[in-house]
Amino acid sequence: MRKVIYLAMLAAPLGVFSAVFWCWSRSAESVSLDQEPGASTHYSTPSAGRPISPTATGPATPADLQGLTPDEQVNVLVYQFANRSVVNIKTKGVQTDRFHLFEVLSKGEGSGLVLDKQGHVLTNYHVIEAAQEVQVTLFDGNTFEARLVGGDPDTDVAVLKIDALPASLFPVKFGSSTRLLVGQRVFAIGNPFGLERTLTTGIISSLNRTLPARNSERRIKSVIQIDADINPGSSGGPLLDSRGRMIGMNTAIASKTGESAGVGFAVPVNTIARVVPQLIANGRVRRPNAGITKLFPVERGLLVALLERGGPAERAGLQGPRIEQRQKRQGPFLVNQRVLNLATADVILKVDGRPVKTPDEFYDVVEEKQPGDQVVLSILRDGQLRQVPLRLGLSGGEK
């Protein structure tokens, strides 16, 4: 029985788990740059040196750490350094009962991270997708109504905003995901099953995994695989290194039951650092758009299965499958049927001279460009090779 990717959040009503989960469970000083070798933009915490205590008694003293093993001391200090940055997120929405056709209230729960003193909060896109109400609870128990600043389903990243006092906000410290190693020790903090700010530990099991993005053919790249326990409700929490710096955001688990089976996944922090400033500034990520919604790998390239109506590809003259009327005899009667003729669809062989054999390869080439750039598609139509110039639009906006 093959493994299934499950939600690491409560996407179903609280206390009830679906049979199958997808772990999908500007201001004056919004961004503080803290460059590290190989790292992107970093949000920096105002007190990066001294561990932060989760209690009112202050950080752990050397006396507190006496008698603990070196490993235990690291665990304690990482938790104290980062736990105040982790928030609990509760969502409410309305779903339509498919059998009785009436609306029912749905509730969900996940985790998030404080990004800055202005109240920006990071979480997974799937945590807040379709939510009508979002509440964020800080480490001190105070709860705030949150509004969505921007979301990017292609990387499963979203940014919320709350109106909290700066003194109660402890921004997470960004690290880098450039030089990670398999076997490296990692720490995860989240809210599994509603149990706030729970710490789990493990190692990096593998690197450069890919996960399917939400509602598109794209895939999230360079995903970190870990063996630390990630359960429903932990989605959107931080993956930390041994210095308490965030190297990823926990987003999915591979499991047959919906609970952690030692195979978890995190979106790398370098991806997050590229996406977050755009979400705060624009509410979305500006990506080039070719206007091709579906591509199917075939023997010689990629068959154009679905075009965005009025989009760049359609305007460039690309063709998808054609719907045709055909007659079929059923007993003594002739019945008209609508069929999809795939033979009329173009097959893309190359983009700017680079062969593409999978949808990922196609989107990788396109996303190296900018909206407004022109690419040349080498296509096969009716057995003839053609060159089609295509000017890229803006994903989610201009055609």
What DSSP string describes 14-49? TT---SS-------TT-------TT-------TT-S
Separation between Cα atoms, residue 291 and residue 389, nearest integer Å: 13
Q: Which residue has the tokens 């700066």?
A: 166
Are residues 115 and 249 part of one domain? yes
Neighbours of 34 (CB within 10 A): 16
Statement: residue 118 has pLDDT above 50: yes
Band of pLDDT at residue 317, cut at 50, 70 and 90: very high
Would 399 be classed as within a structural domain?
no
Separation between Cα atoms, residue 399 and residue 392, nearest integer Å: 8
Residue 183: predicted pLDDT? 94
Would 59 be classed as within a structural domain?
yes
Are residues 234 and 198 part of one domain? yes
Are residues 138 and 176 part of one domain? yes
Statement: residue 382 has pLDDT above 60: yes
What pTM does this model have?
0.69
Which of 40, 111, 177, 235 does the annotation list as catalytic? Answer: 235
Residue 36: predicted pLDDT? 37
Name the residue type at position 157. V
CB under 8 A, 24+ apart: contacts of 305-314? 305/345, 308/399, 310/399, 311/393, 311/399, 312/390, 312/391, 312/392, 312/393, 312/399, 313/390
342 neighbors 377 (Cβ within 8 angstroms):
no
The partner residues of 161 in beta bridges, in order of sequence, read 120, 147
Which of 106, 111, 126, 176 does the annotation list as catalytic? Answer: 126
Would 141 be classed as within a structural domain?
yes
Would 194 be classed as within a structural domain?
yes
Q: Which of 32-41, 243-252, 296-305, 369-378 has the lowest mean pLDDT?
A: 32-41
165 neighbors 140 (Cβ within 8 angstroms):
no
Are residues 328 and 192 part of one domain? no
Which of 156, 227, 229, 241 does the annotation list as catalytic? Answer: 156
Are residues 315 and 273 part of one domain? no
Are residues 114 and 4 part of one domain? yes
The encoded tokens of residue 20 equal 């199958």
**235 among known catalytic residues:** yes
Statement: residue 174 has pLDDT above 80: yes
Split into its structural domains, the chain has a count of: 2
Average pLDDT on 150-164 reads: 93
Would 5 be classed as within a structural domain?
yes
Would 242 be classed as within a structural domain?
yes
Band of pLDDT at residue 368, cut at 50, 70 and 90: confident
Are residues 338 and 220 part of one domain? no
**216 among known catalytic residues:** no
Name the residue type at position 54. P
Average pLDDT on 200-225 reads: 83
Average pLDDT on 27-44 reads: 34
Residues near 310 by beta carbon (within 8 Å), at least 6 away in sequence: 399
* 196 vs 347 pLDDT, higher one: 347
Band of pLDDT at residue 312, cut at 50, 70 and 90: very high
Residue 14: predicted pLDDT? 35
Band of pLDDT at residue 233, cut at 50, 70 and 90: confident
**260 among known catalytic residues:** no
Residue 264: predicted pLDDT? 86
Are residues 316 and 265 part of one domain? no
Separation between Cα atoms, residue 225 and residue 234, nearest integer Å: 15
Residue 94: predicted pLDDT? 67
Would 49 be classed as within a structural domain?
yes
Mean pLDDT value across the chain? 78
Average pLDDT on 368-377 reads: 92
Q: For residue 347, what is the domain's CATH number?
A: 2.30.42.10
Report the candidate in 180, 183, 141, 181 with the shortest Cα–Cα distance to residue 164.
141
Report the candidate in 285, 278, 273 with the shortest Cα–Cα distance to residue 115.
273
Band of pLDDT at residue 59, cut at 50, 70 and 90: low
Three-point CA angle 86, 79, 193, nearest 5°: 50
CA 163 to centroid of chain Cα atoms? 25
Statement: residue 388 has pLDDT above 90: yes
Report the candidate in 248, 199, 202, 239 with the shortest Cα–Cα distance to residue 221.
248
**Phi/psi of residue 269, nearest 5 degrees:** -65, -30
Percent of the residues in the chain that have a pLDDT greater than 90, as a whole number: 43
Are residues 7 and 86 part of one domain? yes
Are residues 143 and 48 part of one domain? yes
Are residues 320 and 177 part of one domain? no
Statement: residue 114 has pLDDT above 90: yes
Name the residue type at position 266. A
Band of pLDDT at residue 396, cut at 50, 70 and 90: low
β-bridge pairing 133-137 and 86-96: antiparallel
Band of pLDDT at residue 131, cut at 50, 70 and 90: confident
Q: For residue 177, what is the domain's CATH number?
A: 2.40.10.120
Q: How far apart are the first and last CA of the chain?
A: 42
Statement: residue 247 has pLDDT above 50: yes
Statement: residue 31 has pLDDT above 60: no
Instruction: Give the helix/strand (H/E) hosting 258.
Output: none
Residue 255: predicted pLDDT? 54
Last residue of a domain, one of 285, 311, 331: 285
The upper half-sphere exposure of residue 217, i.e. CA atoms within 13 Å in the direction of its Cβ, equals 20
**CA R_g for the chain:** 24
β-bridge pairing 393-394 and 374-381: unpaired
Residue 213 domain boundaries: 1-285
Average pLDDT on 102-114 reads: 75
Last residue of a domain, one of 285, 309, 341: 285
Separation between Cα atoms, residue 373 and residue 370, nearest integer Å: 6
Residue 29: predicted pLDDT? 29
383 neighbors 344 (Cβ within 8 angstroms):
no
Are residues 139 and 57 part of one domain? yes
Residue 145: predicted pLDDT? 96
Last residue of a domain, one of 227, 252, 285: 285
Residue 6: predicted pLDDT? 44
Would 239 be classed as within a structural domain?
yes
Residue 190: predicted pLDDT? 87
